[in-house]
Structures are given as structure tokens and as C-alpha cells.
């Protein structure tokens, strides 16, 4: 609880929060429209380095908004250290979840073409009289 | 305020034994039981939303194309123009405003000012209800106007350069006589005519598909499913938030919380929940509309 702040300070914080969150949102949308080529004709950041920079910037802005909401609107800044850590530390598990699942998703995407090719492959039937299946010639399965 | 009174009570018994601590009266983490449990509920809820959003990312990375948000989310009420991301920015502002009014309600609660609490909570409820109205408009546009469902997504993007063909296989022309071409990554929306999708024939002129004639395909169906499930789950949080806010506003207007003399702690707890709904929207906004 923000017990050590005066009422006037608290009200000022609310106004500052409104201005801050609103300004960041407007900047975000402006940069998004610029990057997607809606602002200046011929200018866009949809590929390569510019696109990575754009995504990084958007994530950074969002994380800052999240920090402000948690620490000042939800008063996390005035809570005891133990409570802060027990709420925030578990969320670091998500870092691994993001790395692992995005890697996995990328791998599915990379294999899509391979799966398509394999599905379209014409398999020659084995000549009659010869053994078929997975066993290599000469494999002995059972010795009495 | 609850926690200061607890601290003062303990200043006088600083040398109490461990056995005496078992008698209660001291809050672990210097917060009330209800507030701590609200925090831990929000942690678990954050993991649920994170699971959804990470699934969105994994599926998006696994697809050769993905619909562009500035093409899909471009409608605005009463305006026929293509205004990318403007409406969802309005929705974001509505949630920010309702979060700010919620902070004011909590502050008035600490001052035991019942009228202030009711006034600011009422504005918060208005914000939540307007957000739900905006979401209803957005969903209606997508479902009725653009035929998107959980299993069908008419928003596609071309995987290579190419040219549109007429039904008889000849090259389609624009009104000025030039060939009707498209570029790689260009977005399109398949429209319905008389209840049936009107799917254009195309021929690719670049990439490994060059020379192939085919039909424009639907976009990844996962996009529709993820959009409706994730924004729906968030919208459900907003809806239940509005319901709880209404109940607590009515209680605050009566004498229930004033009698508890704990600085309207119930308002503080629903405030935590409401800010969390805004917090989740920050990431839904990032993942669905900005990236």
C-alpha cells in the first residue's frame, strides 16, 4: 500500500501514469504504421534487420508498460520483497517456454515442405518373391 | 490501513517467542490473506494467457504465411475507409482510462471515502462495458462481414509474385488494360458471393512455384481459432471483472466495507484483478496487432 505518500502525490502519480501509458501506446501505433508502410510511401521495415529492430522495440515498449502497471498501479513497488519475488520469479520460467516453443514452431514450418514431398513420393512396389519389410538381409532373429 | 495497524501491534511485542507467532495476528509478507491470494491467482492466470500467446507464436512460426494485422484489423464503426489499427488503439485507450479510474477508486477507499469509491468505480465499469462493446463490434465485423470462424480464415497472403486469371484461364486485366498482378506477401481477403466463396485463379511467376496455375488459398485456419479463443478469453475476464466491480461498487455504496474499517480492501483486491486485465491486454495488443 502506498501509505507513505500524500494524497496529492498519489493523485499526481495517477495522472502521470495516464500520460505515460497513453503516450507509449500512441508511439507504438505510430511506429507500427510506419514499419508496415502506411505512413511514408515506400518506407517500410518488414524484412531483415529493420524488422527485428521493430519487433524488439515493440516488445521493449510493452514490457515497460507492464512494469509500470504492476509496480505503480498494482502497488508492487510498495510491497514486501518476499511477495514481489514470489510473484515475479515464477514468470521467468516463461523465458524458456518462449525459446522452446518458438524453436519448435520454426521446426514444424521448416519440415512442412519435406512432409509434402514425402506424401507425394511414389513408392515402387517390391518385386514378388523377395522378402519385404524392415529387416536387413541376413538378420537372424532367433537362435534356438 | 490494515497493514500499518498490524505493524504497530507488533512493535510492542518484538521479543515474542516462535510459539506465540503460531497464535496468528501477524501477516506473512505483510499483506492480508486476500491480497496475497489474489496475487497468486493472477500469477496462475498469467501463465494461462502466456500459454495461449506462446501457442500463437509457435503456430505462426510454423506457417509459410500469416495474415497481416494491419490488413485484417482495419475497420472502424460508421466509416467505410481502411484505417489500420485505429479502432484497436481506441480500445486500448478505453482500458487504460478504466485502469486509471480504478487506481483513483482504490485511493479513495484508503481515505474511507465511500462516495469517491462509488464514483470512480462507476467510471471504471463504464470503461469495461465500452471495451466489451468495441469487442462485440470487432467480432461482428470479422464473423458477419468477413466470414472468419474458428476453423476458417479467409485472410490470406501470396507466397510468391504472380498474376490473377479469369475463370477461362486467360490473364485478368485491370480496368485500364494492364495485367492484374500481385506481389509476394501481398494480403487478400476471399469474399463470399451468394453464400459461396469466390476464389480467384492465379498463376505464380516467381519462386519455386513459377508457372504453376492454382486457386488462391484460405489463410491458416489457426489464425481464426487463436484470435477468437484468446481475445474471447480476455473479453471473458473483462466481463467477469465488470460483474465483480458492479457487486463491489454496490457494497461500497452501502455500509458493508465502511464497517470493516480496513480501508476498503475489497476495492483494492478487485483493483488488482482489473489492472491485470489491462496488463494482459498490453500483451494481446502486442502479439495480435503490433507484431
Residues A41 and A98 in one domain: no
On whether residue A133 sits in a domain, the answer given is no
Question: What does the mean pLDDT of chain A come to?
Answer: 85
For residues A41 and A100, membership in a common domain is answered with: no
Q: Do A17 and A41 fall within a single domain?
A: yes
Measured in angstroms, the CA of A80 and the nearest CA of chain B are apart by: 6
Q: Nearest CA to CA, how far is B32 from chain A (Å)?
A: 11
Claim to verify: residue A70 and residue A92 sit in the same structural domain: no
Q: In the prediction, which pLDDT does A43 show?
A: 81
Please report the ipTM that was assigned to this predicted complex: 0.86
Ranges of chain A whose pLDDT falls below 50: 1-2
Q: What is the pLDDT of residue B247?
A: 97
Domain count, chain A: 2
The tens digit of pLDDT for each residue in B160-198 reads 898 998 888 788 888 888 888 888 888 889 988 888 888
Both A2 and A65 in one domain: the answer is yes
CB B102 within 8 Å of CB B123:
no
Which chain A residue is nearest to residue B1, measuring alpha carbons?
A: A3
Residue A140 included in any domain: no
Residue A132 lies inside a defined structural domain of this protein: no
Domain containing A90 equals 80-109
Question: What residues in B contact A45, CB-CB < 8 Å?
Answer: none
Q: Is residue A27 part of a domain?
A: yes
Nearest to B123 by CA among B268, B256, B249, B272: B249
Three-class SS state of B185: coil
Q: Which residues of A touch B279 (CB under 8 A)?
A: 66, 69-70
B197 phi, psi to nearest 5 deg: -70, 135
Are residues A71 and A98 both part of a single domain?
no
> A3 and A69, same structural domain?
yes
Residue of A58, A97, A108 with shortest CB distance to B290? A58
Set of chain B residues whose Cβ sits within 8 Å of the Cβ of A10: 107
Q: Are the Cβ atoms of B283 and A66 closer than 8 angstroms?
A: yes
Residues of B in contact with A62 (CB under 8 A): 282-283, 285-286, 290
Q: Residue A134, Cβ neighbours under 10 Å: how many?
A: 5
Residues of B within 8 A of A21 (CB-CB) are 96, 99
Residue contact A62–B62, C-beta within 8 A? no
How far is residue B271's CA from residue B265's CA, in Å, rounded to a whole number? 9
One domain, residues A104 and A87: yes
Q: Is residue A136 part of a domain?
A: no
Alpha-helical runs (H) found in B144-263: 221-253, 256-260
> How far lies A78's CA from each of A63, A83, A84, B64, in Å?
20, 10, 9, 47
- A3: in domain: yes
How much is the mean pLDDT over chain B? 88
List residues bridging with B163 in a β-sheet.
B181, B203
Taking an 8 Å cut-off on Cβ atoms, the answer to whether B96 and A91 are in contact is no
**Residues B51-60 pLDDT 10s:** 999 999 999 9
pLDDT for residue B11: 44
Residues A7 and A66 in one domain: yes
The yes-or-no verdict on residue B14 having pLDDT over 80 is no
pLDDT of residue A134: 62
Identify whether residues A40 and A73 lie together within a single domain. yes
Q: Are residues A73 and A92 in the same domain?
A: no
**Any domain includes A99:** yes
Q: Which domains does chain B have, with CATH numbers?
A: 29-151+222-290 (1.20.120.80), 155-217 (no CATH)
Q: In angstroms, rounded to a whole number, what is the distance separating the alpha carbons of residues B39 and B272?
A: 8
User: Which SS3 state, helix, strand or coil, does residue B218 take?
Assistant: coil
Q: How far is CA B73 from CA A7, A102, A120, B68, B221, in A?
A: 41, 24, 37, 9, 17
Taking an 8 Å cut-off on Cβ atoms, the answer to whether A25 and B54 are in contact is no
Would A92 be classed as within a structural domain? Answer: yes
User: Do A2 and A73 fall within a single domain?
Assistant: yes
| Mean of pLDDT values over B82-106 | 94
Phi, psi angle pair for B193, to nearest 5°:
-125, 125
Put simply, the answer to whether A32 touches B290 (Cβ < 8 Å) is yes
CA distance B257 to B267: 9
Amino acid at each position: 500500500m502506498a501509505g507513505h505518500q500524500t494524497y496529492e502525490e498519489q493523485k499526481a502519480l495517477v495522472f502521470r501514469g495516464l500520460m505515460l501509458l497513453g503516450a507509449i501506446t500512441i508511439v507504438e501505433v505510430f511506429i507500427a504504421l510506419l514499419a508496415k508502410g502506411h505512413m511514408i510511401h515506400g518506407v517500410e521495415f518488414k524484412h531483415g534487420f529493420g524488422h527485428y529492430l521493430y519487433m524488439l522495440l515493440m516488445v521493449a515498449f510493452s514490457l515497460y508498460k507492464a512494469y509500470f502497471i504492476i509496480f505503480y498501479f498494482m502497488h508492487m513497488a510498495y510491497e514486501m520483497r518476499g511477495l514481489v519475488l514470489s510473484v515475479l520469479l515464477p514468470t521467468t520460467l516463461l523465458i524458456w517456454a518462449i525459446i522452446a516453443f518458438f524453436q519448435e514452431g520454426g521446426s514444424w514450418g521448416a519440415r512442412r515442405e519435406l512432409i509434402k514431398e514425402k506424401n507425394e513420393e511414389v513408392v515402387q512396389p517390391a518385386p514378388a518373391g523377395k522378402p519385404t519389410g524392415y529387416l536387413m538381409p541376413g538378420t537372424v532373429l532367433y537362435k534356438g | 490501513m490494515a497493514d500499518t495497524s498490524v505493524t504497530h501491534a507488533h512493535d510492542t511485542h518484538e521479543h515474542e517467542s516462535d510459539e506465540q507467532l503460531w497464535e496468528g495476528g501477524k501477516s506473512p509478507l505483510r499483506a492480508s490473506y486476500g491480497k496475497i491470494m489474489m496475487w497468486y491467482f493472477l500469477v496462475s492466470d498469467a501463465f494461462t494467457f502466456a500459454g495461449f500467446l506462446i501457442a500463437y507464436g509457435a503456430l505462426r512460426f510454423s506457417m509459410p504465411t500469416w495474415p497481416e494485422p494491419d490488413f485484417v484489423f482495419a475497420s472502424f464503426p460508421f466509416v467505410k475507409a481502411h484505417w489500420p489499427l485505429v479502432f484497436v488503439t481506441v480500445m486500448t485507450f478505453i482500458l487504460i482510462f478504466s485502469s486509471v479510474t480504478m487506481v483513483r477508486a482504490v485511493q479513495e477507499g484508503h481515505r474511507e471515502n465511500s462516495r469517491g469509491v462509488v464514483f470512480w468505480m462507476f467510471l471504471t465499469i463504464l470503461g469495461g462495458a465500452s471495451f466489451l462493446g468495441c469487442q462485440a463490434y470487432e467480432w461482428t465485423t470479422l464473423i458477419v462481414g468477413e466470414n472468419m470462424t474458428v476453423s476458417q480464415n479467409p485472410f490470406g497472403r501470396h507466397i510468391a509474385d504472380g498474376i490473377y486469371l479469369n475463370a477461362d484461364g486467360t490473364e485478368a486485366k485491370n480496368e485500364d488494360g494492364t495485367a492484374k498482378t500481385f506481389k509476394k506477401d501481398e494480403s487478400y481477403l476471399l469474399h463470399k458471393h451468394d453464400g459461396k466463396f469466390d476464389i480467384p485463379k492465379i498463376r505464380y511467376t516467381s519462386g519455386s512455384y513459377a508457372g504453376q496455375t492454382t486457386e488462391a488459398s484460405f489463410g491458416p485456419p489457426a489464425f481464426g481459432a487463436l484470435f477468437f479463443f484468446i481475445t474471447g478469453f480476455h473479453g471473458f475476464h473483462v466481463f467477469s471483472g465488470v460483474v465483480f466491480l458492479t457487486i463491489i461498487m454496490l457494497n461500497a455504496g452501502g455500509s458493508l466495507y465502511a464497517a470493516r474499517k480496513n480501508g476498503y480492501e475489497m476495492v483494492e483486491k478487485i483493483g488488482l484483478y482489473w489492472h491485470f486485465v489491462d496488463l494482459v491486454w498490453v500483451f494481446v495488443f502486442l502479439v495480435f496487432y503490433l507484431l
